[in-house]
Chains A and B, each alone.
Chain A
Amino acid sequence: MSDTRPDSGTVAGLLRPHAGAFAALVLLQVIGALAGLAPLLAVAELGRALLSPGPVDRAHVWFVVLAGLAGLLVRLLFSAASSGIGHLLDGQVQLAFRRRLAAHLGRVPIGWFSRRSTGEPAKVVGEDVSAVHPFIAHTPGELVSAFVVPTASLVYLFTVDWRLTLITLIPVLLAVALVPLMTAPARQREQREFDAAMGRIAGSVVEFVQGIAVVKAFGGAGRTHRRFLTATDEFAGTFLRWARGLAPIAAGMQTALSPPFVLLVVLAGGTVLIAGGGLAPADLLPFLLLGLGLTAPVAALGHGFDDLRAARSAVGRIRDVLAVQPLPEPARPLTARGHRIELRDVRFGYDPGREVLRGIDLVLEPGTSTAIVGPSGSGKSTLVQLLPRFFDPTHGSITLGGVDLRELGSGQLYRTLSFVFQDVRLLRASVADNIALAVPEAGRDQVIRAARLADVHDRILRLPRGYDTVLDEEAGLSRGEAQRIAIARALLADTPVLVLDEATAFADPRTEQAIRHALATLRGDRTIVVIAHRLETIADADTVVLLDDGAIVERGTPAELLSRDGRFAAFWRSHRGDELR
């Protein structure tokens, strides 16, 4: 996965390692396909022998028959081998694509995700990669039988009779004349609409399923249901337009290329030539047998078109995802000295023109705890999200141990920082794996110690298979329990800096206690940053930072701020009043 070649991010680069297998596949296919001509030639030769005046050369006839049989056998073996290789290769290529896409998506800025529904990139990793399948498993075979075989046939037929060869090509020419109509701009536009409509279905169904509780609560005719139906209706409409636009052309092509029509043309031409005495009746046979094969290239174009086109749009979307700029990693990462964090004139906005952070200067000294408070929308969450580099500041810098985060290897950054987010996300994995997320190599005893500290050990023991219970599959946890798992996660990670979005309010009193307990345990040399909601946490902090509208409006120790009787003091009093009411 640690591919450093410059082209490893492109589709062609991903395909390159498989070029050898691909070549073998094509070669086998060519041999098999050419061998497949042998029985047809044998029949033609048989015809010449039988129809020729005079006694029949029996030895020659049986030799011809045997040659035909040998050809059949070779074709069977080689085609099977080629098809087998094709499918195996296909599996490998798909895996490589998916891995590459997943790795890339793991590096694009988090902000990229919040601007689109999860369905979109998920579709690229899943369906779009699958759509590449025919491209690798079927196309080589189709192309070979579409071009190599007809070319060989054509050469042979020309040596038999050039006039009848040209006549045999009439259906092909008719069909070729129709091809431009299939690739007309209107058709291509319909194809694009088709793809877009498909994407909307994927998006609307994710929304539909995720929001089902709301849909239910507000009646079945809810918005998402309608939106899903609209998306599907649109899709059905697009599909019909696409099919209707294509149907007459496709039907015309198919008729021109159909065996009865080709035979009709060959026979009509043959009858005229034989009547004129210019063609031996036996020479009609090769045209009847091989002539049908000449239509293969056009037929393949028509038939293989859908798949190929779908594969091409899919590859386009894969390329788009791979082209998203990842958060830049330093070429030569520097090493942080210590874990003092300093924000200097940090500005940031999700959209240009709307700054969420407007010049933050803040130092987080080792061994101190800092409480960030402020009204909702003041930028608290955004501020802490800059620390794990979910986003990079648009202006100013954040340094850890004297090194700009952008100069730091991500490995070192994550070894230094751990987080407890407000939205706890548990993975469909065992409880133990969930706790050991940041330290997968941790032993079971360490996991249990962390769980005990977070006061969730007892609950885990009550799960069907204890620490090995797979969450979501075998058992679900409540919000508060999930929160405590997240705390255990952070405790186990044991990093020098802990960032905590204190959604303690989410949890029940027991979880609140667990958090307080954890915070008390963690102090010492650690740097703690808390988005604080609770007075107690605020009172315990060394420094309080009051954020409003993206700027720090007050800072100091809780006591200082209270005595200053400014915004913070007002905030404190209103809160206190609430608590005691």
Chain B
Amino acid sequence: MIRMLLRVLGHQHARPVRRTVALMTAAAVVEGLSYALLVPVLRALFDGDAAGARPWLIAFGAAVAVYAVLRYVSDLSGFRVGTTLLRGTYRRLGDHLARLPIGWYGPGRVGEVSLLAGRGVLRAMSVIAHVLAPYVSAAVTPLTIVAVLLAVNWQMGLAALLAAPVVAGIQLWTGRATAAADAERHHRDRQAADRVVEYLQAQPVLRASGRTVERFGLLDGSLRELQRASRRSMLSALPGILGLSLTVQAILTALLVLGTYLALGGAIGPAEVLTVLVLATRCADPLLSLGDIGGQLRGARADLAELDTLLRTPPLPEPREPVEPAGHDLEFDAVTFRHGDRTVIDDLSLTLPEGRRLAVVGPSGAGKSTLLQLLARFHDVAAGAIRVGGTDVRAVDTQALMARFAIVFQDVYLFDGTIEENVRLGRTDATEAEVRAAATAARLDEVIERLPDGWATAVGEGGALLSGGERQRVSIARALLKDAPIVLLDEVTSALDPVNEAAVHQGIERLMAGRTVVMAAHRLRTVRSADHIVFLDGGRVVEEGTHDELLRRGGRYAAFWDLSMASAE
């Protein structure tokens, strides 16, 4: 577990962690050893010799002082290391999340990652700050006491020593026995969290369908599953806790009986027996607490394992010696891409010279959006290559690659901030005038005029407080501000009413001017002006050519066009 912890933390933290553990161990050993001084003290006192006890008592006092100092220092060190680790882990997590391919971000990830980043990281880190010290002390102090016992009376010391392998065995066994049930509970926990998020986000449609919680079995089912899994995980830990308790009490019993027997037989003095029994009860409490502490450690273990898995998920590989693409022409060279076991793009080849416009048309699910995403390297291809300016995108530094693209997505996601902040995302160092110009070009200015706080209007999580058309204009302004040589448009004008569409269209025209453009579209009006059109179905190019060529051919594109015109009239 420590090894996994160190891996998650990164190796620069290994030394402070080891030093902290060493300090904690030292404090525990000093505590155990200090009890050795009780032997002469008690022997003298039980013999009624108070004066003889005094020097030993003073020595004991000195040992306690050393213990207190060591403990304070190790506590502080634990906190400090814990905080450094917390910060470091969050940083690593954040950087890693930003580098993972978009493809990794499936629908279930939001709940999973937020749970992990919230409670998970904290719980994993609090192992060091809170749990490690008691754990070390609960394991090391009794062991030291047993050594002291051995020195006082070997028979009773040996009896106490017998407990050590049993206790260690039980700890190990519990750790293993509970692993499966804990993992199960963890999994259910995550599932329930996803369901809760889904339930909350789907409130509009659920309500409109009359599905309040009573009739929404999915959520209730996952909550019940969670309860069942918690129960199973509790039951799986029970034998360990009981076994530990039983062992400790059995040894205590054995020492009591053995001590009584030895004392009655005269093999050992009463003072020795009583001292040993006092020391033995000192072992019992820490050992019993091992059960509880073990539970907390196991809780952290699951989080840690998850964190470890996440951090070990390979990000998109960065080139060791990045190449700067020359030019902005685009090329798909025998590209295949799979999502799970479904082939989304199937051996597709395409080229687009710099400054030209390519339109990708086809039924939904044909792979249009994926094609765009592959260009911006949201995923890596399974076979073939995608080249920008003649350079494989995998050989280009991610930042440099992204700098070449301005992307307008089908779903516009805005961040919970002001409109201005969302537009500025395009280029953070843009001047006031540039931001205003981009907004005007995207006809966002009319929207802003209508809003109560103008530029400073908050848009809500995901841009919820703006309409679809308004959100789209923000995203176009953002792309205009970015001023990148290649423009990717993913069904941009689709969500809009005619008024918005006309406005957005103007913005898009300005965005496209003089740039290399790839647009996925089904509103064929936008498509007509493209230099080249490909009709995609099942991840393959079925037809390609200019609008007029394709119409003349009378194939799939022509049928699509007719359908589209028919519904427009």
- The answer to the question of A418 belonging to the interface, with a C-beta cut-off of 8 Å to chain B, is yes
Contacting pair A375 B399 (CB below 8 A): no
Which residues of A are found within 8 Å of B405, using beta-carbon distances? 217
Closest Cβ of chain A: how far from B414's Cβ, in Å?
Answer: 8
Contacting pair A574 B498 (CB below 8 A): yes
- The answer to the question of B321 belonging to the interface, with a C-beta cut-off of 8 Å to chain A, is no
Binary contact readout B96-139 vs A (1 if CB under 8 angstroms, 0 otherwise): 01110010011111110111011100100000011000000000
Binary contact readout B263-301 vs A (1 if CB under 8 angstroms, 0 otherwise): 110000011011001100110010000000000000000
Closest Cβ of chain A: how far from B181's Cβ, in Å?
Answer: 13
Q: With A114-B464, A236-B87, A472-B106 given, is the CB distance from A247 to B79 under 8 Å? A: yes
Contacting pair A254 B227 (CB below 8 A): no
Contacting pair A102 B198 (CB below 8 A): no
In the complex, what distance in Å separates the CA atom of A123 from the CA atom of B214?
A: 21
Complex interface: stretch among A151-159, A263-271, A555-563: A263-271
Complex interface: stretch among A9-17, A62-70, A160-168, A340-348: A62-70
Within 8 Å by CB of B563, from A69, A88, A91, A513, lies A513
Closest Cβ of chain A: how far from B197's Cβ, in Å?
Answer: 5
Closest Cβ of chain B: how far from A453's Cβ, in Å?
Answer: 17
In the complex, what distance in Å separates the CA atom of A119 from the CA atom of B200?
A: 9
Contacting pair A213 B210 (CB below 8 A): no
- The answer to the question of B202 belonging to the interface, with a C-beta cut-off of 8 Å to chain A, is yes
- The answer to the question of A338 belonging to the interface, with a C-beta cut-off of 8 Å to chain B, is no
Q: With A217-B376, A223-B425 given, is the CB distance from A390 to B83 under 8 Å? A: no
Closest Cβ of chain A: how far from B35's Cβ, in Å?
Answer: 7
Closest Cβ of chain A: how far from B339's Cβ, in Å?
Answer: 8
Binary contact readout A1-14 vs B (1 if CB under 8 angstroms, 0 otherwise): 11000000000000
Binary contact readout A392-434 vs B (1 if CB under 8 angstroms, 0 otherwise): 0000000000000000001101110111011101011100000
Contacting pair A103 B114 (CB below 8 A): no
Which residues of A are found within 8 Å of B119, using beta-carbon distances? 127, 130
Binary contact readout A115-130 vs B (1 if CB under 8 angstroms, 0 otherwise): 1111101110111001
- The answer to the question of B569 belonging to the interface, with a C-beta cut-off of 8 Å to chain A, is yes
Q: With A69-B253, A95-B224, A509-B560 given, is the CB distance from A260 to B35 under 8 Å? A: yes
Which residues of B are found within 8 Å of A65, using beta-carbon distances? 256-257, 260
Q: With A201-B117, A281-B46 given, is the CB distance from A236 to B413 under 8 Å? A: no
In the complex, what distance in Å separates the CA atom of A202 from the CA atom of B60?
A: 50
- The answer to the question of A56 belonging to the interface, with a C-beta cut-off of 8 Å to chain B, is yes
- The answer to the question of B455 belonging to the interface, with a C-beta cut-off of 8 Å to chain A, is no
Closest Cβ of chain B: how far from A454's Cβ, in Å?
Answer: 13
Contacting pair B273 A224 (CB below 8 A): no
Contacting pair A493 B209 (CB below 8 A): yes
Within 8 Å by CB of B193, from A92, A102, A122, A481, lies A122
Residue of B nearest to A503 (CB): B495
Contacting pair B452 A354 (CB below 8 A): yes
How many residues from B make CB contacts under 8 Å with A? 170
Binary contact readout A434-445 vs B (1 if CB under 8 angstroms, 0 otherwise): 000110100000
Contacting pair B210 A415 (CB below 8 A): yes
Complex interface: stretch among B50-58, B148-156, B162-170: B50-58
- The answer to the question of B348 belonging to the interface, with a C-beta cut-off of 8 Å to chain A, is no
Q: Which label, helix, strand, loop or mixed, suits the secondary structure of the A interface?
A: helix
In the complex, what distance in Å separates the CA atom of A103 from the CA atom of B110?
A: 22
Complex interface: stretch among B244-252, B387-395, B541-549: B244-252
- The answer to the question of B308 belonging to the interface, with a C-beta cut-off of 8 Å to chain A, is no
Residue of A nearest to B342 (CB): A475
Within 8 Å by CB of B212, from A106, A122, A389, lies A106
Which residues of B are found within 8 Å of A213, using beta-carbon distances? 102, 105, 378, 409, 413
Complex interface: stretch among B5-13, B434-442, B466-474: B466-474
Closest Cβ of chain B: how far from A48's Cβ, in Å?
Answer: 10
- The answer to the question of A228 belonging to the interface, with a C-beta cut-off of 8 Å to chain B, is yes
Which residues of B are found within 8 Å of A88, using beta-carbon distances? 231, 234
Contacting pair B363 A117 (CB below 8 A): no
Contacting pair B256 A126 (CB below 8 A): no
Residue of A nearest to B316 (CB): A216
- The answer to the question of A105 belonging to the interface, with a C-beta cut-off of 8 Å to chain B, is yes
Which residues of A are found within 8 Å of B259, using beta-carbon distances? 46
Closest Cβ of chain B: how far from A302's Cβ, in Å?
Answer: 12
- The answer to the question of A571 belonging to the interface, with a C-beta cut-off of 8 Å to chain B, is yes
- The answer to the question of A186 belonging to the interface, with a C-beta cut-off of 8 Å to chain B, is no
Within 8 Å by CB of A214, from B231, B425, B447, B464, lies B425
Complex interface: stretch among B63-71, B323-331, B350-358, B508-516: B63-71
Contacting pair B110 A209 (CB below 8 A): yes
Q: Enumerate B350-400 residues with CB–CB distance to A below 8 Å.
A: 363-365, 376, 378, 398-399
Residue of A nearest to B422 (CB): A223
Contacting pair B68 A478 (CB below 8 A): no
Which residues of A are found within 8 Å of B195, using beta-carbon distances? 428
In the complex, what distance in Å separates the CA atom of A526 from the CA atom of B108?
A: 38
- The answer to the question of B426 belonging to the interface, with a C-beta cut-off of 8 Å to chain A, is yes
Within 8 Å by CB of A80, from B218, B245, B264, B450, lies B245
Contacting pair B410 A479 (CB below 8 A): yes
Closest Cβ of chain A: how far from B567's Cβ, in Å?
Answer: 5
Contacting pair A255 B68 (CB below 8 A): yes
Binary contact readout A535-551 vs B (1 if CB under 8 angstroms, 0 otherwise): 11000000000000000
- The answer to the question of B319 belonging to the interface, with a C-beta cut-off of 8 Å to chain A, is no
In the complex, what distance in Å separates the CA atom of A250 from the CA atom of B568?
A: 74
Within 8 Å by CB of B196, from A107, A126, A220, A375, lies A126
Which residues of B are found within 8 Å of A254, using beta-carbon distances? 71, 75
Residue of B nearest to A580 (CB): B568
Q: With A209-B97, A267-B41, A418-B208 given, is the CB distance from A220 to B398 under 8 Å? A: yes
Q: With A61-B260, A91-B231, A121-B200 given, is the CB distance from A578 to B210 under 8 Å? A: no
Within 8 Å by CB of A207, from B216, B461, B564, lies B461
Which residues of A are found within 8 Å of B567, using beta-carbon distances? 509, 512-513, 516, 534, 536
Q: Enumerate A498-527 residues with CB–CB distance to B below 8 Å.
A: 503, 505-513, 516
Q: With A72-B253, A472-B108 given, is the CB distance from A95 to B227 under 8 Å? A: yes
Q: With A216-B378, A428-B107 given, is the CB distance from A376 to B91 under 8 Å? A: no
Residue of A nearest to B269 (CB): A50
Within 8 Å by CB of B71, from A39, A258, A437, A459, lies A258
Contacting pair B72 A275 (CB below 8 A): no
Contacting pair B199 A43 (CB below 8 A): no
Within 8 Å by CB of B467, from A217, A376, A437, lies A376
Contacting pair A98 B193 (CB below 8 A): no
Contacting pair B117 A80 (CB below 8 A): no
Which residues of B are found within 8 Å of A113, using beta-carbon distances? 200, 203
In the complex, what distance in Å separates the CA atom of A306 from the CA atom of B363?
A: 57
Contacting pair B227 A202 (CB below 8 A): no
Known pairs A206-B114, A263-B60, A578-B501 / 17 extra A-B pairs, C-beta < 8 Å: A80-B241, A91-B234, A94-B227, A99-B220, A210-B462, A213-B378, A217-B409, A219-B403, A232-B90, A240-B83, A259-B31, A388-B208, A480-B363, A480-B365, A534-B567, A579-B525, A579-B568
List, sorted by A's number, 17 A–B pairs whose CB atoms are closer than 8 Å. Answer: A127-B115, A202-B117, A207-B416, A214-B409, A232-B90, A243-B129, A244-B79, A258-B71, A271-B50, A289-B278, A390-B204, A414-B210, A418-B209, A472-B106, A509-B564, A536-B567, A579-B568
